Structure formats: structure tokens, C-alpha cells
Chain A
Amino acid sequence: MPVTGDMHGALVVSRMLLAAVFVVAAAAKLVQVDAPSASVLGRRVPLPLARGAVALLALGELGLAAAILSHSRAREGVLAAFIALVAFVGVQARNMTSASGTVGWTNGCACFGALSRDAPPIVALFRTVGLAALALVVFVLLRGEAGPGVVPWLQSLAWAPRAFVLAGVALAVSVIAMPDLWRRAIKLASLRPVRRMSHMTPLAAPRVIIFLQRASPQCAELVAMVSDWCAQRVVAPQLETVDVETPQGRALAERYVVRGVPSVAFVGGSHIAGRVALGRRAIEKLLQTTERNGYAAIPVSAPVYFEQGELVMSARAQPGCVPCGK
């Protein structure tokens, strides 16, 4: 089938879309690497190994995006993307039918890191199937027809159509990466201010720090649980992990009066530490309380004491930049 000028445009837009999808997926993995690390390669895999694998996967996706956009290697890039997407479909399908859920995408899909953690597995599966189908069509139509490059084609457009195309691709990628975008928007619009108590730490957008030992399987499980929790928040906190077996990690643990691992600390923008939760049960309780009452209701970890009949409470942890401790 001969490729017409209009079809050239459609092929370029499709390549842009495929490339953008891989770029967003890679960026989402790299930005919050712990979230997919614990779920992509299974919660029994040591965290450092999982992180490395996720980073490699993200770099591979960036390479695919570059190939798809290139003029000379576009067809090979699209073919590689198709093969990768088919592989993803296989993994997703297997996990949907797997009872153990210990390998692969255990909770739906981690392709887009924390962005699409709430997407139902079936939606994620159809999404990947659709992208694979698109890649296949583009691969077939690109046969012997290199067509114009992406940049020259965009430059050939007037500013209005060009903006329309770019906005359309951005919107499409957003919907693909976040199928529950509309639900998040509604949730965000319906947020109410939470009751703030006088002795509560005002935390608007906290960081969540997990103090752990890298080699511990329990810690890897906990990272997965906390990253799941963070991903489900409307205003997602930034998740960081601190290995207490490193000198820097140990120093930070001492600074925040962390007595054991795993521990989780909420740290606000004002660098005032909220409570430090020690052990899985306390961490779960802290997350539940925060879920119910909001970030503003995270009580300070403070031993209570009285001075001349007056109740005194103060944060134990010292202020400082987290996690570098400067």
C-alpha cells in the first residue's frame, strides 16, 4: 500500500506517541525507582538488585524512544518496541492469572511507576495490547517508506497545527500513563482542609523516609508497601530510602533518633520530623492514621513531660536537610 502525505503525518504522530510513552515510562521509573523496584522484580529479590534492573529497563526504554524518533533506525526501533510490548503483555497476563503474585507486576502494572499504580490490571493489559497493535501497524506501514523525520515534519507545520499535534500527543500520553486521571482530578477537587490540632506538626507535602538494611527481605517488602501507599495519595509524598549500614545512613538514623529498622519517618518542608514509626505494625498504623486524618495530623514523636505544671511537648529529632543531613 503506497504511503500518502497524510499517512506520513499519521505515521510521524504515531511514532511520536510511542516514543513519548516510553520516555514517560522510563522517567516515572527513574524518578521513584523504589516503587517499581519492589514490585517489578518481585518482593523476594534484594532491593539493590531490583533497583539496578529497573534502572536498566528504564534506560532501555529511553533507547527505544530515541530509535523510534530517529530517521534512519525508526523501523527497527518500532519493531523492538513491538517485541517489548508483546513481552509486557505476556508478563501482565501471567500475573493476572498468578495466585502467588511474587514475580512480575504483582499489583496491576508498574510500567509507569507510581503514575498508574491504581490502574486496574485489565485496563493496563488492554493499554499494552493497544500500544503493541499501534507499533505493529507503524512497523508494517514504514516498510520501504522512511518518510520525513519527526523534526522536519513538525517544522513544516504552521504553529497552530504544530501546537495541536504536540498537545494532542501530550494528552494521549497522559491518559495512557494515568488511566485514572479523571478520578484523581475529582479527588483533588473535593479535598477538604483537615482539622489541625495545636500540637500537630503542620506537614503539607512531606517526604517519607524509610530507614532499612538493604539486604533484608522484610525491608524490601516494606518498601513495596510504603511505595504503594505513597502512589495512592493524591498529593504523593516523595519516597526516599536510607540504608543504615552506610556511614551516611547511620548518621542520619542517629540524627532522627531511629532506634531500629525498618523505620519510617515523615519529614515536612520545614525539615521538622514527624513521628518515627518503628516496625511494620507501627508503620502500618502511622500510614492508616495519615490516610484518615491527612498529613497535618501526624503527631510529633515527643516524650511528654511537665515543667511547672505546664504540659510540654517538643520534637526529638533535629532539623536538617534530608537525607543528606546538611
Chain B
Amino acid sequence: MWEIARVPSLTIGIPTYDDFSGVYFTVQALRLYHDLDDTELLVVDNFGCQHTRAFVEKWSGARYVLARDVVGTAAAKNVVFREARGEAVLCCDGHVLIVPGAIAKLRAFYRQHPDCGDLLQGPLLYDDARSISTHLDSQWLGELWGTWQTDARGLDPNAEPFEIPMQGLGAFSCRRDSWLGFNPDFRGFGGEEGYLHEKYRQAGQRTLCLPWLRWMHRFGRPGGAPYAVLRRDKLRNYAIGHAELGLDLMPMVRHFSEHAPAAEVIGTIEEALEVSWLSA
């Protein structure tokens, strides 16, 4: 007999790049400590790690997708949403842990808000498992757009959702059909935070903090990141994203000029956007 494939309520999509341990613990924590009923697990490998593939396909029950055409954090996340089969998608990095109960609450939230087209996120939980950052504000710091902040409304996990300007994209969720996508020209690391949030606002949606959707992010990398975090990639992605959204590039130029010669910054922007910069 034919069996009609059921669309899961939620896909948890995990983009990864040469990080077996991260994927292992993220996937296993989800399986051990969460109710994954009606939930699909998807791993998108942007590197091609055979150990990750073997673990995901043979042991975890998750779906493995190899996507190496375009290397970059944004590109891998775009693939997560392209490959996901769930009505809604939670995209979380392969080195993120979600607090117990949050997955079930997220499914319930989507059931209760069937027309929600907003970008949903939660507070970042630090390694002490107590401190949180609910959002990023729109300040530039350390070649990144956004500095961690905490809104008192997010301290209580049972509090109501509230609007935030931006947040780290280690974990975020939206309905699959409301996904607006990263610019396909993004490459390498950087340029995602702020861009995606502004894109949702310009489309008339909101970017919300759900205080109970807490996630812990492994910042520590004693062995170093397996990929290069290049200033050039960050600057290029920010320039493309800002240009797409019609945002002023000057704050970005000023900030990056504190870290690199202004001519290099302008040159990278001109090359990325194929424009001639007008000097002040």
C-alpha cells in the first residue's frame, strides 16, 4: 500500500562545517532531552566530513545533505530551508544546545499562531547557564554588526515575546514558507546578523525574542575554528547585504576603517558591489 508522506510540524536544521563533535553533541542532546515528536532532524554539511555523514546516516536517524557548492555560513543556512520538509524550521548551528522543553514549546507556538510570518529567536544562554543576552543592538564592534545586550523583559522564561532589533543567528526559526533567505552572493563567514532582521522588517514582519527559546552556544574553540574568518568576507557580505536593503554603508566603512586602511575597505566594497565610491 502507498503511504502518504506526512509533513512534519518542525524541521530542526543544523548547518555544519568540519565539526563532527559539535554536530554529535547537538543532535544527541536534541534526541536525549527533547520531545522530537513530529519533528525532522536535518544536517547540512558544507564541508564534507565523512565522520559526520556516517554518524548522521547510521546512528542519529537524521537526514544528511551534502552542500559544498557554495562555502559559507549563510549559504548553508539557505540550504537548510531549501531542504527542510517541516512546516516550520528551527535552524541551529552544529554547536548549539537548546534548553529542555523549548522544542515542544516552539511547535506549540506555531500551532497557536498559524499565520506567524515573523523571525523567532530566543535569548543566548552563556556557559554559566544563568546569564543571558536577549538581543544585539545595532552598534559595530570587533568587525561585527551588533553588540550583545539584555532586555529585562527576557529574564523570565515565561514572559511574553517582544520585539528585538537583531540577535545572533546561532539559533533562529520561522515558517518555511515565510523564509526570506540570505543574499545568495554571501560567501564565507559574517554579514548575517542585522541583515536578516532588517530584511524581515522591510517585508512587514517582526523579529521577536521568545524568552523560553534559550540556546547555549559553544564559543570556545581551543583547537581553532576549522574555517577562516576573514575580514574581507565579512566586509564583502555586509556591503552586499546593506546594498540590497538600502542601508547606509558609512557606519560600516567608519568601523572597518578602524581595523584596516580606509583604501582597502573602500576597495573591497567597490569590488563587491561593482561601484565607484564617492569620497566625502
- A interface vs B, CB < 8 Å? 197-200, 213, 216, 218, 244, 250, 253, 257-263, 274-282, 285-286, 299-301, 303-306, 309, 311, 313, 316
Contact B275 A253, beta carbon cutoff 8 Å? no
B137 contacts partner chain A, Cβ-Cβ < 8 Å: yes
Q: In the complex where A197-B204, A278-B243 touch, is A303 in contact with B248 (Cβ < 8 A)?
A: yes
Nearest Cβ distance between residue A38 and chain B, in whole angstroms? 18
C-alpha gap A304/B137 in the complex (Å): 10
Contact B275 A261, beta carbon cutoff 8 Å? yes
8 cross-chain CB contacts under 8 A? A260-B275, A279-B275, A281-B185, A282-B244, A300-B246, A303-B138, A304-B165, A304-B197
**CB-CB nearest in chain A for B164:** A306
Contact B270 A260, beta carbon cutoff 8 Å? yes
Contact A277 B243, beta carbon cutoff 8 Å? yes
C-alpha gap A299/B197 in the complex (Å): 14
Contact B278 A306, beta carbon cutoff 8 Å? no
Contact B248 A279, beta carbon cutoff 8 Å? no
Contact B247 A301, beta carbon cutoff 8 Å? yes
C-alpha gap A257/B243 in the complex (Å): 13
Q: Which of A259, A300, A309 contacts B278 (CB 8 A)?
A: A259
Which residues of chain A have C-beta atoms less than 8 A from B201's C-beta? 199, 304, 311, 313
Q: In the complex where A278-B249, A281-B243, A306-B165 touch, is A244 in contact with B278 (Cβ < 8 A)?
A: yes
**CB-CB nearest in chain B for A219:** B276
Contact B248 A301, beta carbon cutoff 8 Å? yes
Q: In the complex where A197-B204, A257-B248, A260-B275 touch, is A306 in contact with B137 (Cβ < 8 A)?
A: yes
Q: In the complex where A282-B273, A303-B138 touch, is A258 in contact with B278 (Cβ < 8 A)?
A: yes
B163 contacts partner chain A, Cβ-Cβ < 8 Å: yes
Contact A278 B275, beta carbon cutoff 8 Å? yes
Nearest first, the 7 closest Cβ-Cβ pairs linking A and B are A275-B246, A279-B273, A260-B275, A301-B246, A282-B243, A197-B204, A299-B202
Q: B-side binding surface: helix, strand, loop or mixed? A: mixed
Which residues of chain B have C-beta atoms less than 8 A from A250's C-beta? 278
Q: Which of A216, A259, A309 contacts B277 (CB 8 A)?
A: A259
B240 contacts partner chain A, Cβ-Cβ < 8 Å: yes
Q: Which of A198, A261, A277, A286 contacts B276 (CB 8 A)?
A: A261
- Looking at chain B, what size class is its interface with the partner chain? 20 to 34
Q: In the complex where A282-B244, A304-B198 touch, is A259 in contact with B165 (Cβ < 8 A)?
A: no
> How many pairs of A and B residues are in contact by the CB < 8 Å rule?
85
* Max chain B Cβ within 10 angstroms of own Cβ: one of A213, A279, A300: A279
Q: Which of A244, A276, A280, A305 contacts B246 (CB 8 A)?
A: A276
C-alpha gap A274/B202 in the complex (Å): 12
C-alpha gap A199/B203 in the complex (Å): 10
Contact B246 A279, beta carbon cutoff 8 Å? no
Q: In the complex where A216-B276, A260-B278 touch, is A303 in contact with B247 (Cβ < 8 A)?
A: yes
C-alpha gap A276/B243 in the complex (Å): 8
Contact A262 B275, beta carbon cutoff 8 Å? yes
Nearest Cβ distance between residue A208 and chain B, in whole angstroms? 14
B274 contacts partner chain A, Cβ-Cβ < 8 Å: yes
Nearest Cβ distance between residue A288 and chain B, in whole angstroms? 11
C-alpha gap A13/B192 in the complex (Å): 66
Which residues of chain B have C-beta atoms less than 8 A from A253's C-beta? 278
Which residues of chain A have C-beta atoms less than 8 A from B251's C-beta? 303
Q: Which of B165, B198, B246 contacts A282 (CB 8 A)?
A: B246
Nearest Cβ distance between residue A55 and chain B, in whole angstroms? 27
Which residues of chain B have C-beta atoms less than 8 A from A282's C-beta? 243-244, 246, 273
Which residues of chain A have C-beta atoms less than 8 A from B5's C-beta? none
B250 contacts partner chain A, Cβ-Cβ < 8 Å: yes
With A259-B249, A304-B201 given, name 7 new contacts (CB 8 A). A199-B204, A213-B276, A258-B278, A278-B273, A279-B275, A281-B185, A281-B273
Q: In the complex where A277-B246, A282-B243 touch, is A305 in contact with B165 (Cβ < 8 A)?
A: yes
C-alpha gap A250/B276 in the complex (Å): 13
Which residues of chain A have C-beta atoms less than 8 A from B204's C-beta? 197-200
**CB-CB nearest in chain A for B206:** A311
C-alpha gap A148/B247 in the complex (Å): 65
Contact B244 A281, beta carbon cutoff 8 Å? yes
Q: Which of A200, A258, A262, A305 contacts B138 (CB 8 A)?
A: A305
Which residues of chain B have C-beta atoms less than 8 A from A303's C-beta? 138, 247-248, 251
Which residues of chain B have C-beta atoms less than 8 A from A316's C-beta? 248
Q: Which of B151, B163, B250 contacts A259 (CB 8 A)?
A: B250
Which residues of chain A have C-beta atoms less than 8 A from B240's C-beta? 281
Which residues of chain A have C-beta atoms less than 8 A from B245's C-beta? 275, 299
Nearest Cβ distance between residue A310 and chain B, in whole angstroms? 9
Which residues of chain B have C-beta atoms less than 8 A from A281's C-beta? 185, 240, 243-244, 273-274
Mask of B236-280 contacts with A, CB within 8 angstroms, 1/0: 000010011111111100000000000000000110011111100
C-alpha gap A250/B279 in the complex (Å): 10
**CB-CB nearest in chain A for B277:** A260
C-alpha gap A260/B246 in the complex (Å): 12
Which residues of chain A have C-beta atoms less than 8 A from B277's C-beta? 259-260
Which residues of chain A have C-beta atoms less than 8 A from B276's C-beta? 213, 216, 260-261
Nearest Cβ distance between residue A123 and chain B, in whole angstroms? 36
Contact B243 A279, beta carbon cutoff 8 Å? yes
